[in-house]
Amino acid sequence: MEAATTSTPDQDLTPAPAPLSLTEKAVRMVKLTREEEKLDPASGLRVAVRGGGCSGFEYALDFELEARANDIVLEYDGLTVFVDPISARYLEGTEIDYVLGTTGAGFKFINPQATGTCGCGSSFAV
- Number of CB atoms found within 10 A of residue 33's CB: 15
Nearest to 111 by CA among 55, 72, 30, 37: 55
Please state whether the predicted TM-score (pTM) of the whole model is above 0.85: no
Angstrom distance (rounded) from CA 118 to CA 102: 17
- What domains sit in the chain, N to C, each tagged with a CATH number? 5-125 (2.60.300.12)
Number of residues assigned to the chain: 126
Distances from the Cα of 60 to the Cα of 15, 16, 48, angstroms: 24, 22, 5
pLDDT of residue 4: 47
pLDDT per position as a tens digit, 52-101: 766 678 889 999 999 999 999 999 999 999 999 999 999 999 999 999 88
